Amino acid sequence: VARRQDLGLSAREFAALARLRTPVRIQAFVNAIPANHEPDGETLHSVREVLRRRVAHCMEGALVAACALWIQGEPPLLLHLDCAPHDHPHVIALYRRGSAWGAVSKSNGAWLRFREPVYRNLRELAMSYFHEFFDRAGHKTLRAYGLPFDLRRVDPGQWVTSPLPCWELHDRLAAGAHRALLTAAQARALS
């Protein structure tokens, strides 16, 4: 369980996340945050900055979700979903119920959001995003998934309360080992 003093959050910030006692409530909270369309350039806000600015894109929402899960006693795990080079990857916060995986996710499209904890492994969970993960031309672009990234390995000052963008964390997540979801031949044959 992450305590307020461990995270460096104010009492008000901590209370806002501590009220989110289930993944469903966390998802509803993340959904209610307006999309960050990054009008002034790319951002990667910390949890505190998302709570202050009230905007988030997928990774920013995943950080908020992971922090809320950690406060509830669950490990703060992220999963990087990688795609074809011309598209944008996606980041989700993981949780488990028994041996099954689920996910909390921020996305402009509802189809890339919440996943119930019914997936036997991370490949199954990642594949649940496959048909809905496409570019503006309708081409399916999901190609790989990373290993779970445990945010307890990173100082909360770098992702929970940082006033600066969290690019170092992003780079570590994106550079981690990934497992292919498709062979090259399968990717070439996609409709």
153-163 as b/e, with b when 16 or more CB fall inside 10 Å?
A: ebebeebbbbe
Mean pLDDT by 10 residues, the chain (191 residues): 96 98 98 95 97 97 98 98 93 98 89 93 97 90 97 98 98 97 94 84
Q: Which residue has the tokens 């981690």?
A: 176
Whole-angstrom distance, CA of residue 191 vs CA of residue 189:
6
pLDDT value of residue 38: 95
pLDDT value of residue 112: 83
pLDDT value of residue 29: 98
pLDDT value of residue 11: 98
